[in-house]
Amino acid sequence: AAGSAIGLGNIWRFPYLTGENGGSAFIIIYLFCIIIVGFSVMIAEFAVGRRTSLAAVGAYKSQSRNWTFAGVLGVISGFFIMGFYPVVGGWSLAYIFKSITGLLAVPEATGEIFGAFIGAPVEPLIWTVIYMLLNVAIVAKGIAGGIEKASKVLMPTLFVLLIIVILKGISLPGSSAGLRYLFKPDWSQVTGGTVLTALGQSFFTLSLGMGCMLTYGSYLRKDENIPGNALTVVVMDTLVAIMAGLAIFPALFAFGMQPEAGPGLVFIVVPALFSHMGNVGPIISILFFAALAVAALTSSISLLEVVVAYLIDEKKMDRRFATYISSAVITVMCVLSSLSMGKMSGVKLFGVGFFDFFDILTDKIFLAIGGMLITIFVGWFM
């Protein structure tokens, strides 16, 4: 469950949302949402999963046919999140290799390199497809030992690397402005939109509101402590998010960069920092992006699994076929999302590009509705 929760949401999304929403005040609202809303919804999901021993749709359906739609909504959310998540997973993979092919040569150029990379018509697509193939290889076999072993090594690696990056960042002259940005709230910028973004991010980062934690709850033994498990996941996830903030903002201010840089933030600031590390820079960079890719993978397989489990349980498909067919459709969505950063930037759905469309639709709307439904279900029905 921690592998599912800790992912791009913590290291890629949380810092850039913090930057776009004015820093500390956003973080305080976010923490509030995590503690008050996220923690409770996670307990609810674990409880339903454990009681029914079934994946999302089956769990709802087993209690009442009228509630099946809530499970299906979760499957749709997972499907749409997979419409953009693998694109960023692909960026992480690409950056492992870029670490030794010129990315770190000029610290001031990391922004341009990122912009040129994601806007290119072919290269990011290749990485997205490679990333998807990794997901398919794992999920087609059933969520299995390999990824668990890899994440048991690479997740602590990510943790240690974050600490190294934090220490390096706060040692730079001018970094204290970043700490002030993270810890001294400026409430003047807070709007209703800030609160909605923080709420959406708390669902996204904890993998809530779409039946993922519900499914993981179905693997819990009857004597496991549900609030205790939920607390562990919530604390670990929040710790990694705050660490990612500490890794990025002090360095960002030291380099005189802009906090509002958007989705590129981690891919621009962190390499700039590595390029100040001399000979060890490329090695740390490779490890950092490899660990990030694994963190992403342990999250995206849980997303894909929700879709695949639905096709197996409800549509009676065989696991391999269900994985291939859902991944094929997902890959098409990802291609559109990736191209919306460049060649297809003019194509809009409801006023935004494909990438933003899938992102906004899921985390600001679907996950929150899913979270509300599970709460009503547990509190008033079950």
Q: Which residues bind ligand PFF (CB under 6 A)?
A: 4-5, 7-10, 78, 81, 204-205, 207, 210, 212, 299, 302-303
Smallest gap from residue 111 Cβ to ligand PFF (A): 23
Smallest gap from residue 109 Cβ to ligand PFF (A): 28
- Tell me if 12 sits within 8 A of 295, measured CB to CB: no
Can you tell me the distance from the alpha carbon of 99 to that of 282, in angstroms, rounded to the nearest whole number? 5
> In sequence order, what are the residues at sequence separation of 6 or more whose Cβ sits closer than 8 angstroms to the Cβ of residue 88?
8, 12, 263, 296
Can you tell me the distance from the alpha carbon of 364 to that of 199, in angstroms, rounded to the nearest whole number? 8
Smallest gap from residue 298 Cβ to ligand PFF (A): 9
Tokens at 61, concatenated: 């359906």
DSSP three-state, residue 209: coil
Smallest gap from residue 174 Cβ to ligand PFF (A): 30
Tokens at 326, concatenated: 């859902």
Tokens at 272, concatenated: 């700039």
> In sequence order, what are the residues at sequence separation of 6 or more whose Cβ sits closer than 8 angstroms to the Cβ of residue 77?
209, 210, 362, 366, 367, 370
Q: At what angle do helices 281-315 and 319-339 cross, to 10 degrees?
A: 130
DSSP three-state, residue 105: coil
What residue has token string 């150029």? 109
Smallest gap from residue 309 Cβ to ligand PFF (A): 12
C-beta closer to ligand PFF: residue 151 or 275: 151
C-beta closer to ligand PFF: residue 242 or 254: 242
C-beta closer to ligand PFF: residue 104 or 303: 303
Tokens at 60, concatenated: 């709802």
C-beta closer to ligand PFF: residue 210 or 273: 210
C-beta closer to ligand PFF: residue 113 or 213: 213
Smallest gap from residue 362 Cβ to ligand PFF (A): 8
C-beta closer to ligand PFF: residue 207 or 331: 207
Smallest gap from residue 291 Cβ to ligand PFF (A): 13
C-beta closer to ligand PFF: residue 303 or 339: 303
Between the CA atoms of 118, 122, 125 and 130, what dihedral angle is there, to the nearest 10 degrees? -120
Residue nearest to ligand PFF (CB): 9
C-beta closer to ligand PFF: residue 21 or 207: 207
Residue whose C-alpha is closest to residue 247's, from 180, 154, 156, 168: 168
Smallest gap from residue 75 Cβ to ligand PFF (A): 10
Q: What b-and-e string marks burial along 115-124, b requiring 16 or more CB atoms within 10 Å of the CB?
A: eebbeeeeeb
